[in-house]
A = this chain, B = another copy of it.
Amino acid sequence: MDKSHLQQLVTIAGEKSILTAKSDILCYSYDSSLESQLQQYLPSAVFIPDKAEAIPPVMSFCHQHAIPVIPRGAGTGQAGGAVAKYGGLIIDLSRLNRIIEIDTDNLQVIVEPGVVHADLNQALAPLGFSFPPDPGSTKMATIAGMISYNASGMRAMKYGTTREYVLGLDVVLSDGREIRTGGVACRSLKTVSGYDLTKLFVGAEGTLGIITRARLKIMPLPEKKGIAIAAFNQLGDAGRAVVEVFRNKIVPSAIEILDKSAIKAACLYKPSIKLPTDVAAVLFFEVDGPAAAVSYQAQRVAEICAPIAAHVEWTDAPEQVKVLWEARGVVGAASGRVRPGATRVYIGEDICVPITNVGAALEGIQRIGEKYDTIIVTYGHVADGNFHSAPVIDLESEEEIRRVRLVANEIHELALMLNGTVTGEHGVGLVRDQYMEREHGAALEVMRTIKNALDPKNILNPGKMALGGR
């Protein structure tokens, strides 16, 4: 962006809303992905609107001058989606964080893009409701970030992903035009009127428009939760247990897995956690619903797992549920502990495979780690085959960085070989675009056609998702 454009932007947006000093914009040059931490993607400027109406004129100006625009929430993404690959203007939406309306009678809320997920659920909990998608980054991730990457987390198998809960969006298009998807005045929970543009903007990673408002479906909170834990000597047995539970007509609200390395990490992080350490994997089954169903289902899951598992327990006592669940809760933060002084990095961290390939995927990841002499802690959402593998490396070692990139590539290749996908919930961004052609074949051309139709100048988050660079 040249100086005169920048000057004009300041005039349009107001001086207080535009950051240009390097010290101010440095923290916008990366997200949680390893790649963006190794290579600095510095924007030319950052725009922090304090109201949604400030965005269209800025967008129009950028369109006129073909300046890249990159929407950004909390920067918790792990795919480099919210960094400026080709410079330009980052729009930081985090100040637009008002919950505009809570309408429990109609099972919906209206929010600004920068509302933090945990804040929304904190506001809903006393009313007995929740916005069910539940990413690990709940305390930081913004709603529009979740929408842009179709975040899901632990409860997607039973409750679906973010996409299923987005009823309508206000979007500023690449040329500054404003639209509302899902009907301009609509407040109903269902519609098949016209193309479902809402669902297209969900998961579009900011390449089709800037989300400035969202109408979301909410659900009554379940009455109660229960948990069953089962430990397995073979990874394949864990996969079989999951299949058996579904066969027995039980749909848990979450099924989480910790492999050997993740169990070790959790125990090192918090020695009070009691997990069997001599097993290949532990499964956590969460069940929810009316109290009577919860006890029954938790116990049934334990019974179903018993013949296959090395160890089983279950509870529906709230305090005990919390204790048992803790090991799963800490594993993300704990991953680094398996190697003192080293760092858990986000790369190749989000593959998703069919349930029957869960065992093969976990074994494959361990094998890849051994091949490249890299410690990998793996945990994830086994109900839908989505794993987060966490390499733990010395960030000062160029050799380890070289190796971890090979690790990530092989993990992605493994996912595709196992009829999976390179990303279950984190997105493509700039770190997984090289797999798009192979994963999607001719369909990638259709994605590019849509991108080109809605953003012919390719100014919205360019260089992401293999949709075309500059």
Contacts and interface: CB of A to CB of B under 8 A. Distances in A.
Contacts of A441: 179-180, 184
Interface in A247-286: 247-251
Given A160-B164, A292-B296, A442-B179, A188 B453 contact: no
A442 B178 contact: yes
Interface in A111-132: 128
Interface residues of A, number: 100
A454 B422 CA distance: 26
Nearest to A186: B421
A157 B416 CA distance: 34
A200 B200 contact: yes
Contacts of A249: 128, 220-223
A450 interface: yes
Contact of A194 (B128, B180, B191, B440): B440
Interface stretch (A39-47, A229-237, A351-359, A394-402): A351-359
Interface in A421-443: 421-428, 432, 435-436, 439-443
Given A185-B419, A290-B297, A440-B183, A190 B385 contact: yes
Interface stretch (A82-90, A102-110, A325-333): A102-110
A466 B195 CA distance: 11
Contacts of A11: none
A323 interface: no
A161 B449 CA distance: 27
Nearest to A158: B219
A69 to B, nearest CB: 18
Interface stretch (A57-65, A136-144, A148-156, A366-374): A148-156
A197 interface: yes
A177 interface: yes
A192 B149 contact: yes
A420 interface: yes
A-B residue pairs, 4 tightest by C-beta:
A293-B293, A453-B453, A191-B421, A292-B292
Interface of A: 104-107, 128, 149-150, 152, 156-157, 160-161, 163-164, 173, 177-181, 183-197, 199-200, 202-204, 219-223, 243, 246-251, 289-293, 295-297, 300, 352-356, 384-386, 416, 419-428, 432, 435-436, 439-447, 449-454, 465-466
